[in-house]
A and B are shown apart, each in its own frame.
Chain A
Amino acid sequence: MENLALEGALTVTFVRSLFAHANIVDVDATAAEALPNVQVLTAADMDLGVFGPPPFPGVNPGMGRPLLAVDRVRFVGDIIAIVISDDRATGADAAELVSVDYDPLPAVVSPYEAAKDEVLLFPEVGTNVAARFGSPEHDEKLFGGCDVAVSGTLVSQRMAPCPLEPRSAAAELGPDGRITAWLSTQTPHQDRMVLAGTLGLDPAQVRVVGPDVGGGFGAKMLNVEEVLVVWLARRLGRPVRWTETRSESMVALPHGRAARLEFTLGGMRDGKVLAYRLEVLQDCGAYAVLGAFLPNLTGLMASGVYAIPRIEFESRSVVTNTTPISAFRGAGRPEASQVIERAIDTFAAELGMDPAEVRRRNFIPADAFPHTTASHAVYDSGDYEGALELALRSVGYDELRDEQRHRREQAATTQLGIGISCYVEITNGIAESEFGEVEITPDGGAIVRTGSFSHGQGHETTFAMIAAERLGLPVEKVTVHKGDTDEIAKGTGTYGSKSTQIGGAAARLAADDVLELAKQLVADYLEASPADIVLDPAVGRLHVAGDPSIGISWADLASRASADERLAELKAEHEFQAAPTFPFGAHVAVVEVDTETGRVELRRLVAVDDAGTLINPLIAEGQVHGGIATGVAQALYENFVYDDDGNPLTGTFVGYAFPSSADLPSWEAVEMETPTPLNALGAKGIGESGTIGATPAVHNAVVDALTPFGVRNVDLPANGENVWRALREAKA
């Protein structure tokens, strides 16, 4: 994105709050504006409203974020002023010279403190609670009839998404009054609508272009910075650009997770689970954005892969003086799977039963789909036991248990742990639609235009394969266009692992439509009936059924149609909408734990991930690999932390423990395909599965290694210090 050439563009630098919670008494920009060509803008210069919470039911609309902080800052990183300069270095110099007079307020960092409503972030709202989901009613008899009930707490810690490309945005006002915004984004079309809405423009006046984007992971949705850049380009009448630094990104790009989950799971001594209660306290950060809504997905997926007859769910989302929480790879579903998998292992430990066996006794059976859970999700298809058995076979489960027994008998310093996670997740969670268009080019190739966006997922290849297969074209003859709202009529973008199942499916349907149109044209040319024209996909030739000698290739058809000015007939668009799908799988992790230092080494991770039919197994596996690394990063390494005053302590890549290749093993990904009936491709989403499956497997493995020491849980990330603490507490 930074590579975009934009002649004469001014540089935007944001002046951000150094305090977590304070009133702004005064902003003095005199010294900054003394630098050459520097201009400083504050809230007083703005004529814009609040960047509102997403319009989800149940989210308090009064906790939106002013585009520039007005009178009060609510987290370290809140924007106080904007510096406009000719270049980056001057911008950094000037931002330092903007003097802000703060009147500090007590900071609320912990969500429990926030829930007490003693210090309010939005006094006018009267509470810190931004949203409540589920039911506060307790069924006293929920665990009636259970032999055993186990309880525990899992804190799914705060993570920074860390796409390698920090955010970047540029905007330019055209001579026709239209504004073009280049954004490092996942959602160009949605961005256009929100930009237009926030700036009071007709969407037709806004063009958004998503160039090559270096990763998003859910965090690169439109935010205040992008709105400000576009607003500035209009106000200044000059092109402007902004690229965040990493240390800026670490506090300004929304974070993920940050949920405290309390569970009680009850069942019978034979391993059968009967009832489950889950209570979530979600930290939403300083403003109610998507994070406030995410516990809804956690509640929906509470049942996991198990047939649990009775489930109670309740959540509260509270604002704190920290970076806002939004989507991050998994977004609400990892939390569900982390807690149910920990609960199942805790239950198994209580019964003294093998955790694999407890899972077998509770799976939703493969012949029970579609299946509606007690937490109100309608699962489309699955074979949970099949996935677990495949994973156990692949890892050599029994041999590993033998080795574990041996090390325990030897009282070895380094103990072995084996962890299982069986998960199901939801992709295209809110049943969205996606747009696809296919057009035959003059040389007989095809262009696919998609409303999905690719920022590393490889849609350019996958969607080309889908269309090429339908049209009988070599894949090199198909190019995929995305990300320019002027070229692509509509779109929803890429998040929630929904691209292939709706965007890919739309491309396929559009290709089928084009094929039908081509048959009509060929029928005209051959003086045959369209119904008699068939495609030979092996050679990309349309011919009369039963007589391949009477036909025409795509290249000849395109060339003849061009000459006749009929090429435009070979173009079709299709919008495809479908219900969510539910990818699933089983992961088994093998760890070694140094019981003296607490250090955990992940030795192996076997991952069976079933996302229905795979279009491009290489790309799908790549998604799994990256997903697993993020899941393992949460299990063992990363944790974004603040001190009691709300100062970030992990605000750079030095402090924040983003793992490198040296910290991780190679992955053992095992394919399994159970198609969904919900789209013609049979495909479900794969982008987040690895993350959702890996964290609980590794977490359970660490606890498993320490079982002989009486350890029942280790806080995440299960790093050396947290393992050491768990061992120390178990001894005490």
Chain B
Amino acid sequence: MIPAAFEYERAGSVDEAVALLGRDEDAKLLAGGHSLIPTMRLRFSRPSLLVDIGRLDDLRYVRENRDRIAIGALTRHAELIRDPMLREHCALIGEAAALIGDPQVRHRGTIGGSVAHGDPASDLGTILLTLDAELVARGPRGERTIPAAAFFSGPFENALEHQEVLTEIRVPKAAGTYLKYVRRAHDWATVGVAAARVDGRVQVGLTSMGPTPLRARSVEDALADGASPADAAAHAADDTMPPTDATASSEYRAHLAQVLVRRALERL
């Protein structure tokens, strides 16, 4: 299929991208394109203007920023996987990136694009939520920092304003793990589970268990109260809204969440 026609502009800087977005209320940012272009090909999405930020190489980096790791929004999945600093300080990001799509997708797809697209089945979104990451956005009124908990506002929706560009993601140094159940290798997660130790507390996130990435708060609270991984994991599906689709039923997802949360906690 061929996307509907659109105008195309390549931005030479973040500020230029912000300005270009202001030109058209149906404009969209194009980064790696691996979330957007498939939806455009099926004509589920039909922006009238694409603002290409794919060449803004100054947004491709992973660096230490005091007690946090700062990741440029245009860092590609393949780069997340092999980055030595992430491997040392926040290994679950690379682990999860290695499970996204397939090698070709990982060569092009970016962390910022994936997170901003807001697919409830996105692995990285869950991880950022689990880690209490901060997302840095620049817009016409300058820069602001959005906590992950406030970022994911609905399926394919986020807290960014129309003219805001996601530029950086900051995560804490944390030990963690990500388990992903798929029907077949390159599928989206049937269910994904992230578990991480952040500032001494165990935090747990869920993929494909609701309209956005979710935190398994009941599990976290049970653990904080001293419950065993198995007992805490029994709460994995509390307050979730797992969908029923061609991949799995809601009840099977709820069951998987419990098994995977227990396994993730045991691995942590």
Residues on A facing B (Cβ under 8 Å): 88-89, 92-93, 96, 245, 247, 596-597, 599, 637, 641, 649-650, 652, 654-655, 657-660, 662-663, 719-721, 724-725
Contacts and interface: CB of A to CB of B under 8 A. Distances in A.
A657 B186 CA distance: 10
A658 B187 CA distance: 10
Contacts of A654: 188
A662 B185 contact: yes
B248 A721 contact: yes
Contacts of A724: 252, 255
A663 B43 contact: no
The winner among B42, B184, B190, B255 for most chain A CB atoms within 10 A is: B184
B243 to A, nearest CB: 12
Nearest to A597: B259
A659 B184 contact: yes
14 contacts: A89-B5, A96-B4, A247-B42, A597-B181, A597-B259, A660-B102, A660-B184, A660-B186, A662-B186, A663-B184, A719-B183, A720-B256, A721-B249, A721-B252
B181 A599 contact: yes
Main SS of chain B's interface residues?
Answer: loop
Interface string B164-182: 0000000000000000010
Contacts of A599: 181
Contact of A657 (B1, B2, B184, B255): B184
Contacts of A660: 102, 184-186
B6 to A, nearest CB: 12
Query: Which 4 interchain pairs have the tightest Cβ spacing?
Result: A662-B185, A649-B246, A721-B252, A663-B184
Contact of B183 (A88, A92, A96, A657): A657
Contacts, number: 56
A93 B252 CA distance: 40
Contacts of B187: 657
Interface size class of B (residues with CB under 8 A): 20 to 34
A655 B246 contact: yes
A133 B252 CA distance: 39
Contacts of A247: 1, 42
A724 B187 CA distance: 20
Contacts of A658: 184
Interface of B: 1-2, 4-5, 42-43, 102, 181, 183-188, 190, 245-249, 252, 255-256, 259-260
B246 A641 contact: yes
Nearest to B43: A96
Given A641-B246, A721-B248, 10 more contacts: A88-B2, A96-B4, A245-B1, A597-B256, A597-B259, A649-B245, A650-B246, A657-B187, A660-B185, A721-B249
A88 B3 CA distance: 11
A637 B183 contact: yes
Contacts of A649: 245-246
B185 A663 contact: yes
Given A597-B256, A719-B183, A724-B255, A93 B249 contact: no
B259 A596 contact: yes
A88 B190 CA distance: 35
A650 B184 CA distance: 14
A378 B252 CA distance: 46
Contact of A89 (B2, B247, B249, B260): B2
Contacts of A89: 2, 5
Given A247-B42, A657-B187, A662-B186, A720 B181 contact: yes
Nearest to A96: B43
A596 B191 CA distance: 14
Nearest to B102: A660
Contacts of B255: 724
A349 B117 CA distance: 51
Nearest to A639: B246
Given A88-B2, A597-B259, A724-B252, A637 B184 contact: yes
